[in-house]
Amino acid sequence: MLDNISSTKVSGGWHKQYSHQASSTHCAMRFAIFLPPDTNENNKVPVLYWLSGLTCNDENFMQKAGAFKKAAELGIAIVAPDTSPRGDNVPDQDSYDFGQGAGFYVNATQAPYNTHYNMYDYVVNELPAIISEHFPVNDKKAIAGHSMGGHGALMIALRNPKNYVSASAFSPIVNPINCPWGEKAFSHYLGDDKNTWAQYDSCELIKHASSAHYIPIRVDQGEADNFLTEQLKTENLFNVASQKNYPIEINIHPGYDHSYFFISSFIDQHLQFHHQHLSA
């Protein structure tokens, strides 16, 4: 059962927030959806799933990215889930890069996190089923995200290439098994056996991807991003994609940082990129 928290008209369409009890995360989850103008049962639209980064929830992208005008023009719905399970009974740490607000889009295997931190199942299976059941959308999906959410978007698309027609990311964590953010999160959520980490690492997934299942990917990265070298490691993605001839467009932008100022500057291009594939 969905509980409608808010409904706001914007760019001729509607931005709505909902909460529901999620079976995958065993807690109440919140998501937001933008429905473009004239969306109805006789005019179903494709969906772009947006995954946000560390410390964020469903509101950051919806309020700061400036995506509604172009999404309305192109006829694309946008769904933005939260970044982790939340609640008094959900394990947490006093840390911005782990716990609530930092789910990393994995299925945790280690106690006490394995009961609630199943964001992979939530994003891949439970949430799309809810959207399909309750909203006038068609069966075409794309996925995008920023930072930790960029990691989630690329990783989920690479693991489920039949589910999405395209994927994109701003400033993604592309090689989490080899960066401090990823090492901290994966060791707590997945345990010390690093062999189990590779299934959630985009660089590792591309290494083993079959060309029969390649999907188009776009990545935009700010050159002035202070996380670029230590955490994001875009160069590693470029190298492995080049070796595999994987169809990834990587755009480096001088002067831009890690913020939503960067995202808002190029979100229209990402929406247009996805539209090409969602409308094919």
Provide the annotated active-site residues.
147, 225, 258
Give the ranges where the chain is alpha helix by DSSP (H): 58-64, 68-74, 119-121, 127-134, 148-159, 180-190, 202-207, 234-244, 260-278
| Joined tokens for residue 185 | 């999160």
Cα separation, 280 vs 274, in Å, equals 10
Q: 174 in helix, strand or coil? A: coil
| Joined tokens for residue 45 | 């639209």
Is the C-alpha dihedral spanning 132, 138, 139, 141 positive or negative? negative
Cα separation, 96 vs 93, in Å, equals 8
Cα separation, 220 vs 234, in Å, equals 10
Residue type, 65: A
Cα separation, 66 vs 158, in Å, equals 27
Q: What is the DSSP string of 57-81?
A: -HHHHHHHS--HHHHHHHT-EEEEE
Give the ranges where 191-259 is alpha helix by DSSP (H): 202-207, 234-244
